[in-house]
Amino acid sequence: MLEAHDLACLKGDRLLFRGLALRLQAGGLLRVAGPNGVGKTSLLRLVTGLALPETGEVRWRGVGIRRDREALHRELLYLGHAPALNDLLTPLENLRFACAAAGDDADEQSCVTALARIGLENQLDLPARVLSQGQRRRVGLARLFLSARRPLWVLDEPFTALDAAAVAELATTLSDHCDAGGMVMLTTHQDAPFARAPEVLDVGGYAC
């Protein structure tokens, strides 16, 4: 489903890693591991097509993503380091915009439900700038509940700034998504309580 082979990543003029291959099947949960600065985020950005690899190719459903970027982007949910929140908008406005911009039809009611599920029912109408780090992160994560039809989730440090209960709940959500035939690729520094152990890809093993 999602495959990559011989990936090399150039950052500035430094080669971060090379010869990296990966394969993610339906139902797969892949954890990208490695020390800081080894290129975990860069790898995720290569997979999403936001960045181009120096060598190698990423394929989605057998087709190179450079050739058909839209095919991947229709089925991809990527949550990066930055939570993509505008401080002047409320969580609800931010979430509705994020869905509409991605091309999803999410009505107000389902957005409210998603925010409530992630524990933000009291913050719906506050401007995002007054939210805490954990709450900001949750607004982004609320998109998970609205993106079930996007099979591939690529998440950069989704557990950062979340409390223990939220971590457990997020792990369950991700496991459920995989059980339903989805795919999750994520980076994390903490051990999350997944129902089954994720596959681990150590980027450090391909470092230059």
At 7 the three-state DSSP class reads strand
The structure tokens 């990296």 sit at 20
Which residues partner with 3 through β-bridges? Answer: 23, 59
* Beta pairing class for 55-60 and 2-11: antiparallel
The structure tokens 């931010």 sit at 94
82 part of the interface to other proteins, by CB under 8 A:
yes
6 part of the interface to other proteins, by CB under 8 A:
no
Shortest distance, position 101 Cβ to other proteins, whole Å: 5
CB 41 within 8 A of CB 33: no
CB-nearer residue toward other proteins: 33 or 84: 84
Interface segment toward other proteins; rule CB under 8 A; list 72-80, 110-118, 170-178, 194-202: 72-80
CB-nearer residue toward other proteins: 88 or 148: 88
Taking CB under 8 A as the criterion, the residue among 29, 76, 141, 170 binding other proteins is 76
78 part of the interface to other proteins, by CB under 8 A:
yes
Taking CB under 8 A as the criterion, the residue among 1, 5, 15, 172 binding other proteins is 15
84 part of the interface to other proteins, by CB under 8 A:
yes
Q: Is the dihedral of CA 14, 16, 20, 24 positive or negative?
A: negative
* Beta pairing class for 2-11 and 152-156: unpaired
CB 142 within 8 A of CB 95: yes
63 part of the interface to other proteins, by CB under 8 A:
no
Shortest distance, position 75 Cβ to other proteins, whole Å: 8
CB 168 within 8 A of CB 15: no
125 part of the interface to other proteins, by CB under 8 A:
no
CB-nearer residue toward other proteins: 34 or 49: 49
The structure tokens 């401080």 sit at 87
Tokens at 156, concatenated: 């950069």
Shortest distance, position 80 Cβ to other proteins, whole Å: 5
CB 183 within 8 A of CB 25: yes
Shortest distance, position 165 Cβ to other proteins, whole Å: 25
**Site residues, other proteins (CB under 8 A):** 10-13, 15, 48-52, 70, 73-74, 76, 78, 80-89, 93, 96-98, 100-103, 105, 208
